[in-house]
Each structure stands twice: as structure tokens, then as C-alpha cells.
Amino acid sequence: MRLDDPWDDVPAPGRGDQDGTGGAAALDASGAAEPDPRPSAADIYLEVHRSDAFREVRRRYRRFVAPAALAFLLWYLAYVVAATTAPALMARPVAGAVNVAMVAGLGQFLTTFLLTWAYARHARLRRDRAALDLRWDTQEMTRGLGR
């Protein structure tokens, strides 16, 4: 079984005699390979990758993940920097034996859960339907290619 990389634009040396399905290309009477009228799986995936729908799903993903990851990283670094540079602030009591460091540490856990919930909600509302539609379209296009 031969696996092709659908994102490989330039064939490797020695692969030029293949027809994209793992077998040798069919030759006509002149000895030239006749083109396959059906698109290969690689062609289909490249077409989907270049489609506006795929770009929209990726754009929606990046528009949520990049700011969320940056905000969470800054919040985490602020906690670490405050713990190392301002130990007196972090040791300040809030209620009884609970100090600022404990509250901020628990805030790290809380923001992790909130970010996870927000990501799942964003994916469900903004990306899942479009990604599922792309998946179904791709499966329909590749049906019967013998992969």
C-alpha cells in the first residue's frame, strides 16, 4: 500500500511513473501516459484546502485561539513574575490563612476551566457545522477512489 502526501506539490524522484493511485500509469499506443479523468485524493484535498469554506473555518479558529492563548500566557507569566519579584504582595493575607498567592493560584485553575468551556462553546457555535460540512463534501468527492 502506497501512501501519498496530499500536501506535496513536487513529486519525489522516481515517483513520476506513478498515476497517483499506487499503480503504474496507463500507456497509450505512443507510449505516453494517458491522463486519468478522475481527480486523485491529493487533488481533492488540495481543492478543499484552497476553498473559501476551509479558509473561513481556519480564520474562525485563529481568531479565537490566538488571543485566548496570548491572554492566558500573559496571566500565567504575571502570576510567576509576581511570585518571584513581589513575595510580600503574594504573602499578604486575604482571609485567615488564605493569601494573595493562593487566590491567584486558584484563579489559574478557574481561568483554565473557563477557557476550556469558552473554546468548546466557540467551536460548537462557530466552527463545528462548517467543518462537518467540509468533511462530508470531502468524503463524497473521495468516495470510490479506492483509498
- List, as one string, the DSSP characters of 23-80: SBPPB-TTSPBPPPSSPPHHHHHHHHHTSHHHHHHHHHHHHHHHHHHHHHHHHHHHHH
Gyration radius of the chain over CA positions: 26
pTM given for the model: 0.61
Per-residue pLDDT tens over the stretch 46-63: 888 888 888 988 999 999
Per-residue pLDDT tens over the stretch 9-41: 555 555 544 455 544 455 555 555 566 567 777
Give the list of residues 6+ apart from residue 18 with CB closer than 8 angstroms, or none. Answer: 2, 24, 25
